[in-house]
Amino acid sequence: MFENILVVCDGNICRSPTVAALLRELKPEKSVSSAGLVGLEGHDMDPMARDVARANGLECGEHSGRKLTSALCRDVDLILVMETRQRDRIISQFPEASGKTFLLSHWNGGHDIPDPFRRGREVFERIYPMLRQATEAWAGKL
């Protein structure tokens, strides 16, 4: 049912590319991509996010940040976001996506996963297990 999955955060350089890589690893048969509400278009993944992922055994691969668009929302079956405010903004900006936009942590508490951007390594290291746990929960439902 959910074959095309889009993972969304703010800048599309920390959380969403990490989760997209995790989900591709767990569900290689699915088409998984990422975008950002602000979308630092053309930017690579944040070096700290990439390094923490690698330290946890995850290779994220090539990445080029992009901004969320109506077409991206239309062309996917499921949109996973990190924070309630992101879900609210997507639903407001792209009402057609309201029925397919969920918190990444939907299956394990429904809490926001904070943005580690421009914060120390310890924040990235604290966020990574949250991302992994929530992604594994979704993978079990897909």
Catalytic residue list: 9, 15, 115
Element (H, E) at 80: strand 78-81
How far apart are alpha carbons 77 and 70 in whole angstroms? 13
Report strand pairing: 101-103 vs 78-81. Answer: parallel
Evaluate whether 98 touches 44 at the Cβ level (below 8 Å). no
Evaluate whether 15 touches 131 at the Cβ level (below 8 Å). yes
Chain centroid, CA 2 distance in Å: 15
